[in-house]
Each structure stands twice: as C-alpha cells, then as structure tokens.
Amino acid sequence: MHRIEIRLKNYLPDARGLGLVRDIADLSIKSVSNAIVTDIYYLGAELTKAQLDLICRELLADPVTQDYQFDSLSDEAKQAGNYVIEVAYKAGVVDPVEETVMIGLHDLNISGVKAVKTAKQYIIEGKLTPKQLETISNKLLVNPIIQHVIESGHFAFAKNPKYHFKLNQIDLLGADKAKLEEIRRNYTFSEIELSAVRDYYLQQGRNPTDVELETLAQTWSEHCVHKTFKAKITYDGKIVNNILKSTISRVTRELNKEWCLSVFLDNSGVIDFDGKWALCFKVETHNHPSAVEPYGGAATGIGGVIRDPLGTGLGAKPILNTDVFCFAPPDFPQEKLPKGVLHPRRIFKGVRAGVADYGNRLGIPTVNGAILFDERYLANPLVYCGTMGLMPVEMAQRGKHKPGDLIVLVGGKTGRDGIHGATFASEQLTDESGSVSFTSVQIGNPIVEKKVIDILLQARGRGLYRRITDCGAGGLSSAVGEMGEETGARVDLDKVPLKYTGLNYAEIWISEAQERMVIAVPPEKIDELLRLCASEDVQAAVVGEFTNDRQLKLFYQGHQVADLSMEFLHKGIPQWQLKAVLNQPKYPEPDFAQPRDLGDSLKDILGSWNVCSKEWVIRQYDHEVQGGTVIKPLVGKTNDGPGDATVIRPVFNSDKGVIVANGINPKYGQIDPYWMAASAIDEALRQIIAVGGNLKQVALLDNFCWGDTRKPEMLGALVQAAQACYDMAIVYGTPFVSGKDSLYNEFECEGKIIAIPHTLLISAMGIMEDVKHSISMDFKNAGDSIYVVGGTKNELGASAYLETKGLIGNSVPKVDPARAKALMDKLSKATEKGLVKACHDCSEGGIGIAVAEMAFAGGLGAELNLKSVLLAEKIDRDDFILFSESNSRFIVEVTPGSKAEFEKIMGDVSIGEIGTVNETNKLEIYGLNGCKIVSETINDLKEAWQKPLRW
Amino acid sequence: MSKAKVLVVRAPGTNRDGEAVFAFEQAGAEVTLAHVNQLIRRECNLFDYQIFVIPGGFSYGDDIASGKVLANELKLKFGKDMLKFVDDGRLVLGICNGFQVLVKSGILPRVQKGETPRVTLTNNDSGKFECRWVYLGVNQKSPCIFTKGMENMYVPVAHGEGKFAGDLKAITEKNIAVYYTDEKGNRDAGYPCNPNGSVKNIAGICDDSGRIFGLMPHPEDHILGTQHPQWTRLGAKKYGDGLPIFQNAVKWVKGI
C-alpha cells in the first residue's frame, strides 16, 4: 500500500485552509494562526517509485499549483507544535473519487491497484487545549456517521467479508406475546398490521422469511403508502375517510382539467406543455438523513428526486431543481445544543453543499427555493428537493410491461447504504439516531446518475424498454414490488452487482444504494440495451423477469427466499383508524407602542434570518445551465434582487415557458394550520402572477412535514391544512398533481419532545404562453407610479414584524379565494398588455419590505404615502399598515401613460396608488398623519438585507 | 455550400453540451454530439469535422481536479490526432470544463513532450463555486478567430476552479483573447467583476494561430436575448452577446 499527499504549493493562498481558520474562529477559538488542508490518497498496490511519480505528476497533482510526496509525512505535519488530524471514510462508505482515480490509473496504463481510498489531512497551527482540538475535530472536521480519525499513514484497507447463504425464517406463528412485540418493533409494524401479517402466514401454513417481512415492512411504511393520509380519522364528531382522496386529489378529480395527463399515479405528476411536450414535477423531502449527515443526506435527497421525473412515464429529462430548507437560526448558541444534534450552521452549510455539488454536477439548474428559520427545526431540519422533467407527450403515461419482460437494474452498484431508509424516514429521531442510523446515510455519486440519465434517454428514444421506475426508498423491494403488482415478478438476488462482498440476500433486496433505475426490457431488445449501456460504461444487469402469477418470488443462488402474494403485499394493509382534535392556541396580542422611526423596524425585518438575502446560497447553484432561465432567481440592476418566481424556457425553439414558484409559511401554522395552508397556496400563485403568469394552467404540489400525527392535536392540524388545500385550490382552479408527506418530525431529548412547526410547502408550475411577457420585481423608471393591488387588513399574526418584537399575536392572514382569483386574473391581463413595469409579491414584511426590495433591486428611490393604502378594515397604526401580511396583494409599478388603462382593467379590485419611483436613492414613507416615518437610503436597506448571510 | 461541421464531445459529467450544440446550430453549423468513448474507440472520426468543441460540465465529476481525467484521456488516447487536427488548420473550442481540459492536457498553451505545464486553472479565490454574469473585454491584438470583430460581451460564469494562474511567461499578451472587466470596460475592477481571481483578469486564451480558444465564461448561455439577466429592464434583443463567437468560427471554416 502507498500513501500519497497532495497539497498546495506553500506560497499559494489556501482557500480551504483559510475557510477552516474562519470556521474555527466561529467556534470562539481564536488561537489558530493557520491551517493546511492536504488531500491524501491510499493506493492498494505495490508500485515502483517511477510509477508513483508518474501517478502523482500526471494524475493526482497539478504541477503548477501543487506539490506531492508519497510514503512519508510532510515537514509541516512533523513539525512540533502543529496539530495533525487525518480523516478517512469508514469502511463501507463508498467515496466517488475512488472510481475516478481508478479510471485515471487505467488511462495511465497502471494496473494492479486493487483499491483506492481518499482521506483529508488537516494541519492546524496555533496553541490549542486538548478540549479545543476535540471541539474542532467534532464540530468541523469529522462526521462520525461516515468518517473517523486515523493516525496519518496508519491506514488499512478493509477486508472483504464473506457471506455464506443461510435462509433466515422468523417464527411468527409460534411466537408468544413478548416475541410478537419484538417482531413488531423490529419491522416497525403497527399492531393491526402485524396481526394482518400473522393471519396471512397462518393461511399459508408457514412462517415468513426475514426478507418477506422486510418487503412487507417497506411496502407498508408511512414513507411509501402514506397511511396517515389514507386513514379513517375521527375528527370533530365526523369521520374523515382518507384525507388524500377527500381533499387533495378531490380537487384534481372535480376540476378534471384535460391538461392533467398523469396525476397521483406515477413517480411525479404530469401536465401537458404545448401538445408536443409534457412537464412533470415532483418534490420530495430528505429530512432525517440530512439531520445526521447534512452533506450526504441532502445530496442523496436531490439525487433521489431527480430520478422521479426520470422514472415517470417512459422517462423525462430533468430540466430544473428547486430546494426549500428549514433550519434553526445559524446563531443558535453552541452551548444550548442538545446531545446528538449538529449545529444548524453546520447543517445549513452541509445541506447547501450537498444540493449544489449534486445538482451542479448533473447540469440541472437550481432555480427556485426558500430558506426558513425556526428554533424548532433544530433537531429536525427540513430539506425539500424538487425536480421538473420534460418528455414527449406520447411518453407521459406510465409504461406497461408484459410477462416475460426482463427486470434490468441500471446504474450504481448495490452496497449496504441506506438500509432501512424508508422505515427510518417514518420514525422519530432520538439523540441515539446518529449512532444507530449510519447505514441509512449514503454518499451520492452524481456522475453515475448523470451517466444513467444520458443512457436511459437514449434507450427511451430507441424504444428499448417498456416501463421504468426509480430505485428510491425501499430499493429493489419497492421498485420491483410496485412494477410487478399486476403481473408478478421473480428476482435472482445474486445477480445484483455489488459494491463489496458480504451482503446477505435481504440486504441486497432492501438496499437503498443510489443512482439506480429499474426498467422492463422485452427479451428481444436486451442485447441492444446492454450494448448501449456498455458503450458509455454504464452498469446494467438482468436480475429477473416479470411473470404472470401475481407472486413476488425471490431467489439467492437458486434457493427460494421469498414467495409473497402481490395482492396481499399491496392490498393487505389494514386501514389505520386515528383520532384527531382541533387545538387552537391563543397568544398575547401585541401591546407595544408604535416606534417613531419605522426605518429601524424596516431594517430589522430586512435583516431577519427569514427575510434576508439568500444570495450566498443561490450563487453557489448553477442556475444558468441548460440555457433556459428567462427570469432568474436573482434579478435587478445588479442581479441581486429577490425574484419572485422563476421562468424557464424548456424548449429552445419555442417562446412558451413554465413558471416555478413556491409558497410556505410555517409561522402562520402556530396560530392556525388552515390559514397557513391557504396562505401557502395564495403565495405560490401570487409569485406566478408577479412574474407575468396567469392562473389558466397552474398545477400544484403539496408537501406536508409534520410532527407525530399519532397525537390527535397534530393530526387535527393536518386535517385542517388539507381541508384548506381543497377549499382554496378548487376556487383558484389549480389541481394538485403530486405530493408527499414526512411525518413524525419530532425529537426526544432528555425527556423533552421538540416537534417541528406544521410545515406545508406548496410548489406550483404554471404555463406561460410567451416568455417575453415576463416581468421582474425591480423598479424600472423614476416617475412611475406605485400601486398596492389588493386590500390591506389588520393581519399581523405571526408576521415578520411581530417576530422582531418577540411576539406572535393571533390575527393570522386569511384568504378569500374568489376575490383573490378575480384580482389575479385582472392583474394578469394588465401584465399581458404590457402595462406593468414591475410587480412584486407582497408577503413577509408586507408593503414595507416589498417596496424596499423593489427599490434597491432597481437602484431607485421611492416616496410612499400610507394614507393611500386601500384598507379592507380599519387600521390606525402606520406600522401595522406597513408590515401587515394580508394575502393576495401585490406592489405594482406603472408608467404614467399606462395608469388610466391599468386602473380600467383592474376595475372593482381594491387598488391604491401609494407613491412614485424616484431617483433620490432614498425610500421615504409618510404616515397617516402626514409625518415622515421612514427615511432610509436604499444602500442602507440593501446592506441590512444582505449582511446576515454574507458568508 | 455545405455547412460547417462541428463535433461536440461529451464525457461522463459533461452538462453544457446541449447549449453548445444549440449555439453552433444557431450559427448555421451541422453539429454532431459524440461520447468520448466513440473517439477513443475510433467509432467517430475527428477528421470528419472542422471544429472540435469540448463543452462545460464536470467531466468525471471533476474528482481529483477539474477536467484532469478527461485531459489525460485526450492526451493519452488521441493526443496525436488532436495535434494533427489543429496543425491541419482546424478550430478547437473549449468552454469552462473544456478550457480546463485544453489547459491540463497541454494543448493550450501547447506543452511540448517532456516539458512541465506552466499555467493552470485552479480554485477560485473565493473558495466557492459561483454562478454570476460577467463583462468580458476582447483583446483587439489577439489573433483569436472566435472573437474577431467583437469588443465586449456579457455572459455568465458557473465554476469553482476558474482562476487562471501560473507562470505568465508561458503565454504572450496576444494569447489573452478575453479578459474580465466591469460594466464600463475597466480591466482592473477586482472581485466580483473578476469572479475567480485570475491573474491579469484572464478569462480566456488562444494559441498563436488564434484557432484554439479556451475560456471559462459561457457564451453558449447567451445566444438568445431573453437569456440576458436584465432583459426585463433593457428590452430583449433577438440574439445574445455570445452568438458571434460561434458565427465567427463557422464563417472562418467556410472561408468567408
């Protein structure tokens, strides 16, 4: 074995080292003067010095910027007083760099290298106590879930373990009460579920095998079948039978839009784009893995959702990503961090890096998202990742395979990674989760996924398969189990290509190793498919075939290890019976006096974590790749204003576009989950209108993240929110096409339960006839008029303004969907006619924040008069008018020449001309009594907004 | 007259191939997209084409270093063909990852056998991948075929390892084809106008003949007027600033 060190030439600035010194300083350790980060490669081979020189010179080191040495330690590492920490991946964690190094060695004609492992060596200069060193190591350098510290040079390649087949049967039929309870817990069944399973095996007259129970547990997991949403719920004296059917999908059914091509059936929801192309969209969550390993968890989150469009219909090309994160505030005190919980700043940085590294490498623009902060996300951060795909309209329907078609696994090899991810995702985290759940966390390999996408889109074009699905949560068990529901399937588990030896048949079956897709290939096409995959070095293996006996049969080395009825697997799960109650908390009403100068209040809100600029994150995502971004996430005179929605032109030769938007405001949920959901829908739609879209063809996605819904008050909140989804969407005429939920987001620490706020993300896609009608939110011309469109109410409950005062209040913003729709329709008409120069969604922070953002994004000043704001109810305080978060409002810029026509089109909609754009470089606002209440330069406002996340 | 024939090569992780194909098609060329394996296995003949393009992306994940593994494949598997292709008087364009590949394979600037490369593209000074729009000035003294007649352009960058660095004696002033400027064309505007800390604000270089051109920014992402980040302020032109790069190349091979 050889060890190679690659490091920057010592006269060059080391951005990684400097970054580490900054991060250490953030831990309040100020005694570190310098840090050096060195890349280490361990090669499992005996090589000559000449060979090693060749490898270093030609492959691993850049001769201009880097030095290398092998089989010895650098002077810096040996120097007394320097601290050396070398961090390697644990055995079983597959690092994507290994594969690339192997390719590079092969290109250099170096053979005989059996294994490659990478590591990082950190040399820290300065005086540290052992305790400080440990803090640096634990908080910054090592994630014990996947990594460990090794002594430099003392590294050993893991031995490949052997596996000898032994069938494992579970004595379910002979089990006593205690044993039954153990089985129930091992496989995370509920009591009625276990009893149904037991009845099935009684009928079969035999005991189950372990892999059969694993298959049932996975197929029946909350993550995969949404038991809570399908449950029979007793609520408020009434029975709600299946929330999904009675609210969310009911909207779609009743609206019955002909442009909805495939809804709630496939891996993502599909709508028509232009008669020739179809668009599909899916948003997933990857919360639990991101809590314990932010980088890997988030990377595999985005990697997983990208495979949803790829596994929809006959396969769609991913064209954009969205991401929405919820974290605890980055300034959360280190010392208050519960045991087993990573600091929110580390989670934030890791998640951002994971999403960016994966999405950027795949060449999918990340164009829309949001980041929200609340202390209750401390132990349960939320990571929503979405992907939209584009496919020919004739490929939009889920494929139909035939008995005899071969089951082909395409893409990554299978390892022990992600085992029990589906059931892990459906469980509560504890402070032990970090140590027990390591197999649930994986490191993604984006290039394998890119290769899979490239090859499958070619195979799709050549008609080489009849059906496709992704291998996501639940692995092969889920993919083959679902595909084979109507036919039956047999799989030879020993034919699955493995990353390393030692996996037993059950692990192979349920592994959630990433970057895998399953396709159904007609036997006559298999040679062509395998040739195609080989031409681009993509792994493809025939692992079984679809049958016609409606049984799921699994074999390992010829031994049958499972024989399950598809009927029982998919239909045998008993419906849950749950209780829900409504719990409406009351908070103290605000009783503070109006501040004299609201400029400071404005800056406080602009600088709050939720409102402040997220440019630091957005810039690190590639939002230009594929060349389709027409309205970008950052807009304005210097490309740094907060755009509302994003507009994409998915087909270069057409002017037709798609708008992507999202609505989310968990703060409102602490007052009322119904109005939270209504507000989220209104917000997503407002953003679509704000960039020049309309409501004619808008589809919605729902993603619920909730606490433990086995608690009646949690479930009551969920029922309320789902009801609002129906009540709003039916009036707006916007069907739901896909959705997902993540429940049990609670954390137990020292006997205390922390539940996340009820969080509903509404994602929206809207079709736009001509992208050239898009508008952006930045003010354009001095002299233009500023209107508030929509009436303002005294709705400060859970507002950004009250939050800066440490208050919540009770007057949560409500929605009148019929009025809102009429308003939006009229505003769209005005925009289409070119009468609107700029338009901004009025959301967190109300009129004050929206106008401030429009001003500094456009590099222009503005003068406003609050007397001209049209009030829908009496408000006698300037601050409440300025910062009310009433829904269905927009700030609109109109040139003087267009005012008459604009006002005519708006008709009976409440609008108020509140001021004008000017070149003063200042935002000046006059209150109800004519006094100046805000006078701030746009530079100061922008600085307040940009400062918090300028990392 | 027959169309100019362009070969766009892709490798595992290439991701801006679609835009490169579109840009050359808009410029009137006939474009073929081929996998690098097809070139290595000689299923695709380089010499059927007049323009060879390595587009942007993360070839082989940019593991080890950006473009390194693909650069080695280029050099070791069909390096001789590459050099012959160039010496025959044809055009080579490397964008972003493609530029990194050209530099690290010793094609641009040319590194003779046995010599050590003297320049490279390395980590941005900011230590981050960044996606932002930049202003480029065109060096009027450069013989670059691709930028002929152009003065400046506004195009996006999207990279983490785009800092041009090393011993500048490896090139001369005329090899600097494009450089970062501010909105007004000033060359020493600093970060973020120069988004990566490149020495002398170098954004792209060409060889002495002007036929090999590599640059970090993405002209292929500004072909249409609505790709401009401020078209809603300034009005949408039909075509973007990047198109002339591709038109120049096509014009040149057609001998116009």
The answer to whether the CB atoms of A361 and B15 lie below 8 A apart is yes
Contact B58 A775 (CB under 8 A): no
Q: What's the mean pLDDT in A221-240?
A: 91
Structural contact between residues B218 and B157, judged by C-beta atoms closer than 8 angstroms? yes
Domain boundaries, chain B: 5-253
Partners of residue A63 in chain B, C-beta under 8 Å: 116-117, 120
CB A538 within 8 A of CB A441: no
Which pLDDT band, with edges at 50, 70 and 90, does A436 fall under?
A: very low
Helices and strands (H and E) in chain A: how many: 33, 40
* Burial (0-12, 13-18, 19+ Cβ within 10 Å), A26: middle
**What is the mean pLDDT of the segment spanning A39-52?**
95
pLDDT of amino acid A501: 85
Q: Characterize the bridge pairing of strands A467-470 and A752-755.
A: unpaired
Which residues of chain A lie closer than 8 angstroms to B132, CB-CB?
619, 639
Contact yes or no for A285/A384 (Cβ under 8 A) = yes
Instruction: Look at B35 and A536 and tell me if their CB atoms are within 8 Å.
Output: yes
Mean local confidence (pLDDT), A563-567:
97
Quote the CA–CA distance of A699 and A539 in Å, as a whole number.
36
Quickly count helices (H) and strands (E) in chain B: 6, 11
Element (H, E) at A124: strand A116-126
- Tell whether A632 is within 8 A of chain B (Cβ): yes
A920-930, pLDDT tens digit by residue? 999 999 999 99
The CA distance from B73 to the nearest CA of chain A, in Å, is 6
Selected residue of B118, B121, B233 to mutate for chain A interface (largest A Cβ count, 10 A): B233
DSSP A871: B
Q: What is the DSSP string of A751-815?
A: TEEEEPPPEEEEEEEEEES-GGG---SS---TT-EEEEES-B-S--TT-HHHHHTT---S-----
Q: pLDDT at position A426, please?
A: 53
- CB contact A15 to B (< 8 Å): yes
The predicted model gives A45-58 an average pLDDT of 95
> What pLDDT shows up at residue A654?
94
Q: Evaluate if residue A140 carries a pLDDT over 70.
A: yes
Predicted pLDDT at A335: 87
Q: What is the pLDDT of residue A857?
A: 98
Helix (H) or strand (E) holding A285: strand A277-285
Tell me the mean pLDDT in the region A283-292: 89
d(CA A648, CA A659): 6
Chain B environment of A536 (Cβ under 8 Å): 12, 35, 37
Amino acid at A789: V
The b/e string for A72-97 (b: 16+ C-beta within 10 A; e otherwise) is ebbebbeeeebbbbbbbbeebbbbbb
What type of residue sits at position B94? G
User: What does residue A777 show for φ and ψ, rounded to 5 degrees?
Assistant: -90, -5
How many Å lie between the alpha carbon of B64 and the closest alpha carbon of chain A? 6
CATH class of B5-253: alpha beta
Query: Stretch A243-256: mean pLDDT, rounded?
Result: 96
Listed by number, the residues of chain A in 749-788 with a beta carbon closer than 8 Å to a beta carbon of chain B are 771-772, 774-776, 778, 780
What is the average pLDDT across A293-321? 94
Residues 885 to 924 of A: which have CB under 8 A from any B CB? none
Cβ contact (<8 Å) for A107 and B73?
Answer: yes
What is the pLDDT, as a whole number, of residue A472? 82
- List the Cα angle A240/A243/A248 in 5-degree steps: 135
pLDDT < 70 stretches in chain B: 1, 256
Note the pLDDT of residue A421: 54
Nearest to B133 among A446, A620, A639 (CB): A639
Tell me: ipTM over 0.90. yes
Interface of A with B in 19-58 (CB under 8 A): 19, 58
A59: contact with B, CB 8 A cutoff = yes
Task: Round to the nearest angstrom and report the end-to-end CA distance of chain B.
Answer: 11
Torsion of CA A648, A651, A655, A661, to 10 degrees: -20
CA distance A437 to A336: 24
Chain-chain contact of B123 with A537 (C-beta, under 8 angstroms): no
Taking residues A833-850, report their average pLDDT: 97
Q: Which of B19, B73, B161, B220 is the catalytic position? A: B220
- The answer to whether A629 faces chain B, any CB pair under 8 Å, is yes
Q: Do A64 and B117 touch (CB under 8 A)?
A: yes
Q: Which residues contact A547 (CB under 8 A, 6 or more apart)?
A: A403, A484, A487, A488, A489, A490, A553
Nearest to B37 among A58, A356, A536 (CB): A536
**DSSP element (H, E) containing A422:** helix A421-425
From the CA of A156, how many Å to the nearest CA of chain B?
22
* C-alpha span between B12 and A102 (Å, rounded): 14
B75: Cβ contacts below 8 Å, ≥ 6 apart: B82, B105, B106, B107
Sheet with strand A922-926: strands edge to edge: A838-841, A890-894, A785-789, A911-918, A861-865, A922-926, A932-937
- Cα–Cα dist A753/B163, whole Å: 49
User: DSSP class of residue A291?
Assistant: H
Give the active site residue among A106, A164, A223, A343.
Answer: A223
pLDDT tens digit string along A761-819? Answer: 999 999 999 999 999 999 999 999 999 999 999 999 999 999 999 999 999 999 999 99
Alpha helices in B27-67 (DSSP H): 36-40
Q: How confident is the model at residue A222 (pLDDT cuts 50, 70, 90)?
A: confident
> Which is nearest to B146 in space by CA: B24, B1, B10, B5?
B24
CB spacing of A536 vs B218 below 8 angstroms: no
May I ask the CATH architecture of the domain A2-150?
A: 2-Layer Sandwich (3.30)
- pLDDT interval class at A434 (50, 70, 90): very low
- Token pair belonging to A255: 């609206």
Give B12's contacts in chain A (Cβ within 8 Å): 447, 450-451, 454, 536-537
* pLDDT exceeds cutoff 70 at A430: no
Does pLDDT of A435 surpass 80? no
User: Would you say A345 and A334 are in contact if contact means Cβ atoms under 8 Å apart?
Assistant: no
pLDDT value at position B256?
58
Nearby residues of A553 by Cβ (< 8 Å), 6 or more positions away: A488, A489, A490, A491, A547, A560, A562, A563
For B190, left (φ over 0), alpha (ψ -120 to 50), or beta? left
A96 touches chain B (CB under 8 A): yes
In whole angstroms, give the CA distance from residue A772 to residue A831.
11
**Cβ B141 vs Cβ B172: under 8 Å:** no
Secondary element (H or E) of residue A579: strand A577-580
**pLDDT reported for residue A438:** 42
Token reading at A680: 């989220």
Give, in degrees to the nearest 5, the angle at Cα A732 between A729 and A734. 60
Taking CB atoms and an 8 Å limit, are B132 and A619 in contact across chains?
A: yes
Work out the pLDDT band at A73, boundaries 50, 70, 90.
Answer: confident
How would residue A223 be classed by pLDDT, with cut points 50, 70 and 90? confident
pLDDT (mean) for A174-190? 94
Phi-psi region of A447 (alpha: psi -120 to 50; beta: other; left: phi over 0): alpha
Kindly state the average pLDDT of the residues A90-116. Answer: 89
Distance CA A672, CA A31 (A): 49
Question: B-chain residues within 8 Å CB-CB of A625?
Answer: 15-16, 19, 56, 158, 221
Q: Does pLDDT of A431 surpass 60?
A: no
User: For residue B156, what is the nearest residue in chain A, using CA coordinates?
Assistant: A624
Residue of B nearest to A451 (CA): B12
Are A63 and B117 inside 8 Å of each other by CB?
yes
What's the rounded Cα separation, in Å, for the pair A702 and A282? 9
- At A595 the pLDDT is 95
Confidence at A619, pLDDT banded by 50, 70, 90: very high
Per domain, the residue ranges of chain A are 2-150
- For residue A816, the SS3 value is coil
Can you tell me the mean pLDDT for A118-138? Answer: 92
- pLDDT mean across residues, chain A: 93
User: Is residue B234 within 8 Å of B243, Cβ to Cβ?
Assistant: no
Which chain B positions have a beta carbon within 8 Å of A445's beta carbon?
A: 61
Closest CA to A652 of B58, B216, B20, B229: B20
Question: Distance between CA atoms of A79 and A69, rounded to whole angstroms?
Answer: 16
CB contact under 8 A, A649 and B226: yes
Cα torsion A601, A602, A606, A611 to 10°: value is 80
pLDDT band at A590 (very low <50, low <70, confident <90, very high): very high
Question: Under an 8 A CB cutoff, do B22 and A780 touch?
Answer: no
Active site residue B35: no
Nearest residue to A852 via CA among A774, A948, A940: A940
Provide, rounded to the nearest whole percent, the portion of chain A with pLDDT above 70. 97
Residue A645 has pLDDT above 70, yes or no: yes
Interface of A with B in 797-816 (CB under 8 A): none
**Residue B166 and residue A65: Cβ atoms within 8 Å?**
yes
| H helical segments located in A9-48 | 15-26
Average pLDDT over residues A737-752: 90
Percent of chain A with pLDDT over 90: 83
pLDDT given for residue B79 in this prediction: 87
Return the structure tokens found at B49. Answer: 């084409």
Where is pLDDT greater, at A285 or A437?
A: A285
Active site residue B220: yes
